[in-house]
């Protein structure tokens, strides 16, 4: 079989403990990231989209509600959205501060992830780690073209 060429991610759905609480959070965050809320076709599937991807939240099944999120268990670790510029990261950080939303790590260079990797990390109401990052294509383009990039990258435990 010839390999399928994946063009990107079409959608991401995450499960949340409290749909109303998470809807309020994402109703603030997603428009700030350029997403629009889609009409509610299913009250248990709240969805936002931009021209490239859609993002949805769904309630946890009742037997799982109240479970603490742990990104080191099997499954979702964190979600990073890519920004066009460092300035967009800084503007989004100001938005997070204005809205009093939980910031895990302020905007900074994170060289352990690659040269010129600039990001802000924040959390949703369930503690899921989210990120907005500007990362010049140089590193990943080399990885995609050659299968690796021999430039040193620092290891980080998280």
Mean pLDDT of 151-156: 53
Please, which pLDDT band fits residue 141 given cuts at 50, 70 and 90? low
**52 plus 92 within the same structural domain:** no
Q: Find the domain containing 119 and state its range.
A: 78-148
**2 plus 53 within the same structural domain:** yes
Q: Tens of pLDDT along 43-53?
A: 889 999 999 99
Mean pLDDT of 87-93: 97
The number of distinct structural domains making up the chain is: 2
- 82-118 as b/e, with b when 16 or more CB fall inside 10 Å? ebeeeebbbebbebbeeeebeeeeebeebeebbeebb
Please, which pLDDT band fits residue 158 given cuts at 50, 70 and 90? very low
**85 plus 39 within the same structural domain:** no
Residue 115 or 104, more confident: 104
pLDDT of residue 153: 56
**87 plus 47 within the same structural domain:** no
Mean pLDDT of 102-124: 93
Please, which pLDDT band fits residue 67 given cuts at 50, 70 and 90? confident
Tell me whether residue 153 is in a domain: no
**52 plus 85 within the same structural domain:** no
Q: What is the pTM of this model?
A: 0.81
**87 plus 136 within the same structural domain:** yes
**121 plus 89 within the same structural domain:** yes
| Residue in 70, 118, 74 with CA at minimum distance from that of residue 93 | 118
**84 plus 140 within the same structural domain:** yes
pLDDT greater than 60 at residue 154: no
Here the CATH number for the domain that contains residue 143 is 3.10.180.10
**11 plus 56 within the same structural domain:** yes
Please, which pLDDT band fits residue 91 given cuts at 50, 70 and 90? very high
As a whole number of angstroms, the distance between CA 152 and CA 82 comes to 22
Residue 121 or 150, more confident: 121
pLDDT greater than 80 at residue 106: yes
**51 plus 21 within the same structural domain:** yes
Tell me whether residue 158 is in a domain: no
Tell me whether residue 84 is in a domain: yes
Tell me whether residue 30 is in a domain: yes
């Amino acid at each position: 079989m010839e390999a399928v060429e994946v063009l990107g991610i079409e959608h991401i759905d995450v499960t949340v403990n409290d749909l109303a609480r998470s809807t309020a959070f994402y109703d603030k965050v997603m428009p700030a990231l350029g997403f629009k809320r889609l009409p509610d076709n299913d009250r248990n599937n709240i969805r936002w989209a931009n021209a490239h991807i859609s993002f949805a939240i769904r309630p946890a099944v009742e037997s799982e509600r109240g479970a603490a999120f742990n990104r080191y268990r099997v499954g979702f670790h964190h979600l990073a959205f890519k920004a066009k510029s460092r300035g967009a990261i800084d503007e989004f950080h100001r938005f997070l501060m204005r809205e009093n939303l939980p910031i895990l790590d302020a905007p900074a260079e994170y060289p352990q992830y690659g040269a010129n990797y600039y990001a802000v990390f924040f959390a949703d109401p369930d503690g899921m780690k989210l990120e907005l990052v500007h990362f010049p294509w140089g590193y990943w383009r080399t990885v995609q073209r050659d299968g690796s990039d021999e430039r040193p990258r620092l290891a980080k435990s998280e």
